[in-house]
Homo-oligomer: A and B are copies of this chain.
């Protein structure tokens, strides 16, 4: 167990906090609920962002930027949306401070009250659909396939770094379409893009499904979700894509002339993932020794440590290796600080989750080998110098795959069918993970189950089989199993 890190067994929640702190990923700021994303954490987020951005562009999307502020009245335009988002938010009421006549600080200038309060965006459907109104007249203006990278604010009472913070970073796609079918396909496509990103880059298996009405986005007609499972058996919603129907088009009066010269409301989607993915990444792979970062997202993929310290012969071998690795597009750092001992460095790099460590000492060089250690299994191997760069190239692929397979095996072991409510509660309390169970399809039953067990329906899997059954709580008929879990 690494210094400063509580074991997962002892206290999973504390372990998570310790990893975030000791690996220097983020910290709480002086502003309640807002975090500081530290350079080490931000570099991982940048890699996620860049890869997602690439995938959005490959599917035809472009980026734009919309205002941080939303007029208060906009939130009320879509009835469900306001219920979901207007309640806990940052409200701007004034636009000026003045010197305190009774002190040496500043106070709000009462004469600078805004006519209408502004809300810091919790999500941007309203301001964006107000803008789209002017951009869309005809079917020729459609589809609009726009994404925005932005900060958003939702006033949270209980916050946890990355997982739930008052301000967070995210992307929000907002698309407009001429037909219902095209919008629905867009929402499904983005769910697939998110799933591909989660599995191929984060090495995090996800279940693709749709949300029950209770868990649907406020203002959506269907919410597509990807659900991941953390090592403590709790689920985490990792990304959602919403088919919004014509709700926002109607709320903001966005119509277009279709090919038959008839006026129609526009069809919409929105979809987003956030810095919450950082929390998911940490909790999917890391261990009691620290962070584990999948190679495809690691800012530094390989670190080289001289044993016991730099020396001309070692430096020469390092330079050669670094040149070879860089030529393969592998990011590598040489930790040549002569003041720190190798053991200290090993622990540090392990803690920070660097996928591959190379140790080079004179004795190794005399034997013509280098020591290669992989972070995921902590296995070490002596590799002939000439083979090291191609060995590492393959090793990074293997680590990426191993992390995914390991998480997949854990996840699959933790999808447990339950056929009555006692069994349901027993699995929930003693094993955790997803519970695959029948449900009568009503919001009432879902809420009752939540009240009794804290478990919610994470999703109705897209691949759920048709199967006659009885609701776990009410015994009423059901035709497919859904996945329940306690969730972040």
**Partner-B contacts on A (CB < 8 A):** 27, 29-31, 34-39, 42-43, 46, 62-76, 82, 86-98, 104-106, 108, 117-120, 127, 130-131, 134, 146, 150-151, 153, 155, 167, 169
Contacts and interface: CB of A to CB of B under 8 A. Distances in A.
A39 B62 contact: yes
A88 B87 CA distance: 27
B65 A37 contact: yes
A36 B68 CA distance: 10
Nearest to A79: B104
A31 B108 contact: no
Contacts of A43: 62-63
A68 B167 contact: yes
Contact of A65 (B118, B131, B150, B169): B169
Contacts of A66: 29, 36
Nearest to A135: B38
A384 to B, nearest CB: 34
A282 B248 CA distance: 35
A127 B31 contact: yes
A43 B76 CA distance: 32
Contacts of A75: 97, 106
B91 A108 contact: yes
Number of copies: 2
A210 B169 CA distance: 36
B67 A167 contact: yes
22 contacts: A29-B66, A30-B74, A31-B67, A36-B67, A39-B146, A42-B62, A43-B62, A43-B63, A67-B167, A68-B120, A68-B151, A75-B97, A88-B95, A89-B96, A90-B92, A90-B95, A91-B108, A92-B92, A92-B93, A93-B93, A95-B155, A96-B155
A82 B96 contact: no
B69 A167 contact: yes
Given A30-B71, A64-B37, A131-B36, A93 B91 contact: yes
A309 to B, nearest CB: 18
A30 to B, nearest CB: 5
Given A36-B64, A67-B167, A30 B127 contact: yes
Contact of A64 (B38, B134, B155): B38
Given A29-B67, A29-B131, A97-B119, A76 B105 contact: yes
Select the residue from A63, A86, A95 with max chain B CB neighbours within 10 A: A95
A69 B86 contact: no
A91 B95 contact: yes
Contacts of A37: 64-65
A34 B118 CA distance: 12
Given A63-B39, A76-B104, A90 B69 contact: yes
Contacts of A130: 30
The 7 A-B residue pairs with the shortest CB-CB distance in the complex, in nearest-first order: A34-B67, A39-B62, A37-B65, A91-B94, A95-B155, A76-B105, A93-B93
A107 B202 CA distance: 42
Select the residue from A39, A131, A150, A153 with max chain B CB neighbours within 10 A: A39
A83 B451 CA distance: 53
Contacts of A62: 39, 42-43
Contacts of A27: 131, 134
A192 to B, nearest CB: 23
A35 B155 CA distance: 25
Contacts of A82: 106
A70 B120 contact: no
Contacts of A90: 69, 92, 95, 118
Given A68-B153, A90-B95, 4 more contacts: A29-B66, A42-B63, A69-B90, A72-B108
A67 B161 CA distance: 13
B91 A87 contact: no
A104 B67 CA distance: 25
A420 to B, nearest CB: 41
